[in-house]
Structure 1
């Protein structure tokens, strides 16, 4: 729950599409500006078929300390993976850059994505 007051804002579906991702495919970083929200619903998400990955656009990360090789730190990392299963829906700001990691499974991944204005 976000406590956003959308009573004065009429949120409308701007568009939607089905994405069938074959094995080996990757989706490069992109955003959905000027959409208010974007989202994805996973119809068929095989194991190892690629997570949704968001990039932290905080410009101050350039001043953060680097982590030791082979380690991670949730405070200073710049990419955030969101693993999902069949039936998962993720909704996020349309301006947030994201990509979909490589489908390393031997099956296609099927998702439905959408934008709102």
Structure 2
């Protein structure tokens, strides 16, 4: 839950195969999720960008709505913008971890 004025700095979920969030309550102006480009070379390109678009931006901001489910690789850097509304933004975050199947002996 992020109340008014709260945000989440850019971070990763180390050790997670997938991470995500289910959005329960998303008031208007309560902050978008931001996903950052993991390819540093693209961000540091010597070629000038005339018009920023989803194909050349170093990050994108996605406006979620109640009922949305966002899933992404756990290693992908992401954050949430400041909640500029007067209400709480409520989401349920989670991580999925891959664990190899263990075989039990029948002896």
Length-normalised TM-score, structure 2: 0.83
The residue that corresponds to 2:69 in the other structure is: 89
Count of aligned pairs:
96
**Structure 1 gap segments, 5+ residues each:** 1-19
2:48 is matched with which residue: 60, 66, 80?
Answer: 66
If each structure's strand is expressed as a fraction of its own residues, which one has the higher value?
A: 1
1:1-117 mapped onto 2 (5 Å cutoff): 20-61=1-42, 62-63=44-45, 65-68=47-50, 71-117=51-97
Q: Runs ≥4 in structure 1, deviation > 3 angstroms?
A: none
Q: How much is the aligned-residue C-alpha RMSD, in angstroms?
A: 1.3
- Cα distance in 1, alignment partners of residues 32 and 55 from structure 2: 20
8 Å Cα contact 1:65/1:76 also seen in 2: no
With over 3 angstroms needed to count, the CA separation of the structure-2 counterparts of 1:105 and 1:64, relative to structure 1, is farther
Length-normalised TM-score, structure 1: 0.76
Which structure has the larger Rg over C-alpha atoms?
2
